[in-house]
Amino acid sequence: MLDRTKRIIIGITGASGALYALHTIKALLSNGVEVHLVISEYGAYVLENETDFSLKGKNVLDSFREKFGDEVSGGNIVKYSNKDLAAEISSGSFKTDGMAIVPCSMKTLAGVAQGFAGSLIERAADVTLKEGRKLVVVPRETPLNKIHLKNMLAVADAGAHILPAMPAFYQKPATIDDLADFMAGRILSLFDIEAELFEPWRK
Ligand SMILES: Cc1cc2nc3c(=O)[nH]c(=O)nc-3n(C[C@H](O)[C@H](O)[C@H](O)COP(=O)(O)O)c2cc1C
Domains of the chain are 7-190 (3.40.50.1950)
- Please say if the pLDDT value at position 57 is more than 70: no
d(CA 144, CA 118) in angstroms, rounded, equals: 24
Please give the number of the atom of ligand 1 that sits closest to the Cα of 49.
1
Instruction: Determine the distance separating the centroid of ligand 1 and the alpha carbon of 5, expressed in angstroms.
Output: 33
Instruction: Determine the distance separating the centroid of ligand 1 and the alpha carbon of 39, expressed in angstroms.
Output: 12
- Ligand 1 binding site (Cβ under 6 Å of any ligand atom): 13-16, 40, 42-43, 45-46, 49, 105-108, 140-141
Judging by beta carbons within 10 Å of its beta carbon (0-12, 13-18, 19+), is residue 11 exposed, middle or buried? buried
Q: Where do the H-state alpha helices sit in 35-175?
A: 41-50, 60-68, 106-113, 120-130, 146-157
d(CA 64, CA 69) in angstroms, rounded, equals: 7
SS3 helix, strand, coil % of the chain, rounded to 5?
A: 40, 15, 40
Indicate the helix (H) or strand (E) that contains 99.
strand 99-104
pLDDT of 196 reads 85
pLDDT digits (tens, 9 = 90+) for 99-138: 999 999 999 999 999 999 999 999 999 999 999 999 999 9
Nearest Cα residue to atom 19 of ligand 1: 107
Q: What letter represents residue 73's amino acid?
A: S
d(CA 84, CA 35) in angstroms, rounded, equals: 17
Closest CA to 47 of 195, 180, 188: 180
Please provide the average confidence, as pLDDT, over all residues in the chain: 95
Residue 22: pLDDT band with limits 50, 70, 90 = very high
pLDDT of 3 reads 67
Nearest Cα residue to atom 25 of ligand 1: 108
Residue 2: pLDDT band with limits 50, 70, 90 = low
- DSSP class of residue 83 equals T
Residue 49: pLDDT band with limits 50, 70, 90 = very high
Q: Whole-model pTM?
A: 0.97
Q: What letter represents residue 143's amino acid?
A: P
